Structure 1
């Protein structure tokens, strides 16, 4: 690990104005601070390569949850970095789980496979990862590595894989596969308590075909309340009959089936504040409500996943910067929102406090060689000329870290954040290239 400040005069010629922006006292101070405090990171092209992340591990310390961000979905570099870092954290720091921004219910298939279950990983990933993430070979590599680690008899403590996003997600915004949460809960109770659970199962069945945004919007208020009560009754049945249900199945089956009903409750809350998916995809002022529900649900699911790890469990949580940040979503395309919604990181910070480390990601590399926006956090980090490094915002407290700054999102928009509030630190990539898509 090389502290960039120790590189000395070799960097001084590179620390001019970012992307042609006029120099300002704030900009100069930011660049100077980055030059002094940034630490170069090792290259690690795949999980078959070992890399020393000792400096980053020192940053992590005893944190039980490390929330690691990516500036855009589907870029190879953040995914590969996540994989290499996770291997190091498992082998050297005792981490026991990874959770990613993908549907919770669907992830059971990959959770079981990673634990040693049967199946073809690519087939399982197509249905076990939402938002199309099963296309990315880095995700396949991650799951295969976890499985190999778990199957090695030398490793007594096993490693778990989870999705923590709301279930049934897809690009069209309809959440049309969300009913799988209720289907699984019903099927589980029909096996574990076929007679006793019949009333609570019967109350939910009439609503199965209405469990998507478009179909749910066709229900009147009285029908929605009936569904709400039916879901609550099913969850209550799980809690009141926990011991008997576990005895008739297994602790794992019980835990996953119960969380499916929690996921169904999350979805109904989302449906209540959603509008019909629009063809133009343009955001509306009231859409903040759906974002707020989703991020709160992701935090709830992340807490569940960590609870499953038991005493001493430690988890790497990987999601978009816009979810892991301890901030409200502001700026860019979200400026239209009538109220900025709290990201998942806000909820996690309230729960875990100092047991949570939030590390975002930044890059100057954009799709099609798009120039980085001058004056942004990304431009300041790019001015070092160093391809890959990390920076810990907690080491000192320069004033600019507490001022509003812009950080790029998805190549073509931005979030407005106070860096020290939103993140404990950042990892920087000098470029982003598309992940190879698997058919």
Structure 2
């Protein structure tokens, strides 16, 4: 059996990845089973560099705030701001403290500087995107920033009579931002402002502003750039997504958490479909957001299931969406020791190399009727691979031992 499994493995590099795929994907997703381990992010960086240099990739999208990510994109494309500044303010979820993320941003900026020196067009520059909403674990931001930015864009470029409201009306309906960011609202729906009369009115006005942006596209493209148009669209879909998210937070029904998680991944999917218009994109996030099967999580009120961004995008793009799921052997500094030999991770851990790219469908064929066990993790922060998903992924990226991040 070990010899058969060895025959399904390859070196982790861009050429081997492309060799697993039936067509060149518009979105190539690389998942991770845990957050906060720079060794996995360095692997992502290495793969992205190869995809850029060998396969013409020009964009990376990561699981971080889509609005904050605009500052990172401005920095890598045009040098706006400082590296320290964009690392502090351009990422959510504390990703800016990661040495691997800092290395990624620095390398992307250096590549674009060389591109300018070579006289390459702006379309050949590397681009960065966050594709998560302005959300954290315990709260969601006010829609103020994105909604007023969309309104300002339209107020600058279209006839005032076409606007559905004034900025003053938005400010009155929004009220104080701490109404929206109330920390107790995640656990107590009665503390959420998401189903108030003001929130309902804002949702209707936001829909009208987004519709106006769409109907004025021919005019707007004569007075602004496509990047400006794309940014305004990002503001619009994020404002709508935040209002939907707050509405779900105010839901007292048993389906509340399923709705909250589904809205978040819907926002992710919309952002990914938008960024895919730039050309081939490497996407990086937790496996649960990128997998094709339904995502599941056990929370305080019991198990929750929802369709993640990967499932939604795959349904839209078909073979132009590809998913590599990362899994690993050990994270000893987190209490995750060597995997049992009857798990997928255990079978791969028995091989001598430190990293493998595994042809998942060939592995499933090699295993035949053998049903690997589901690995149990002693640490809540690591999600083992579900062997039932072998035929739903395009490849496995296996890392034998994840070592602590050096400070």
The TM-score bracket by the shorter chain reads 0.7 to 0.9
Q: Structure 2 matches for 1:256-271, cutoff 5 A?
A: 256-271=231-246
Q: Specify the SS of the correspondent of 2:316.
A: helix
Contact 1:201 1:234 in 2 (8 A): no
Q: Distance in 1 between matches of 2:208 and 2:398?
A: 48
Q: Distance in 1 between matches of 2:264 and 2:195?
A: 23
The residue aligned with 2:8 is: 37
Deviations 1:167-218 (A, max 9, x none): x2234x2113553222322332343348346543444332333573538823
Contact 1:359 1:425 in 2 (8 A): yes
Q: CA deviation at 1:394?
A: 3.1
Q: Distance in 1 between matches of 2:325 and 2:201?
A: 42
Contact 2:364 2:391 in 1 (8 A): no
Q: 1:275 to 1:228 in 2, by over 3 A?
A: closer
Q: CA deviation at 1:225?
A: 2.3
User: Structure 2: any 5+ residue segments left out of the alignment?
Assistant: 186-190
The residue aligned with 2:403 is: 433
1:383 aligns with 2:363: no
Q: Quick one: which of 260, 273, 290 aligns to 1:290?
A: 260
Contact 2:327 2:385 in 1 (8 A): no
Q: Specify the SS of the correspondent of 2:330.
A: coil
Indicate the RMSD between aligned Cα atoms, in angstroms: 2.9
The residue aligned with 1:136 is: 98
Q: Distance in 2 between matches of 1:231 and 1:255?
A: 17
Q: Specify the SS of the correspondent of 1:95.
A: coil
The residue aligned with 2:44 is: 82
1:365 aligns with 2:330: yes
1:418 aligns with 2:388: yes
User: Structure 1: any 5+ residue segments left out of the alignment?
Assistant: 1-28, 42-51, 277-283
Q: Distance in 2 between matches of 1:160 and 1:412?
A: 30
Q: Distance in 2 between matches of 1:402 and 1:159?
A: 43
1:175 aligns with 2:140: yes
Deviations 1:304-355 (A, max 9, x none): 0111x1xxx1110111111111122236x35964551112211121111111
Comparing 344-353 with 247-256, greater Cα deviation is found at 247-256
Q: CA deviation at 1:295?
A: 1.3
Q: CA deviation at 1:358?
A: 0.4
Contact 1:390 1:428 in 2 (8 A): yes
Contact 2:11 2:356 in 1 (8 A): yes
Scaled by the length of structure 1, the TM-score of the pair is: 0.78
Contact 1:407 1:417 in 2 (8 A): no
Q: CA deviation at 1:397?
A: 4.3
Scaled by the length of structure 2, the TM-score of the pair is: 0.84
Q: Distance in 2 between matches of 1:232 and 1:285?
A: 25
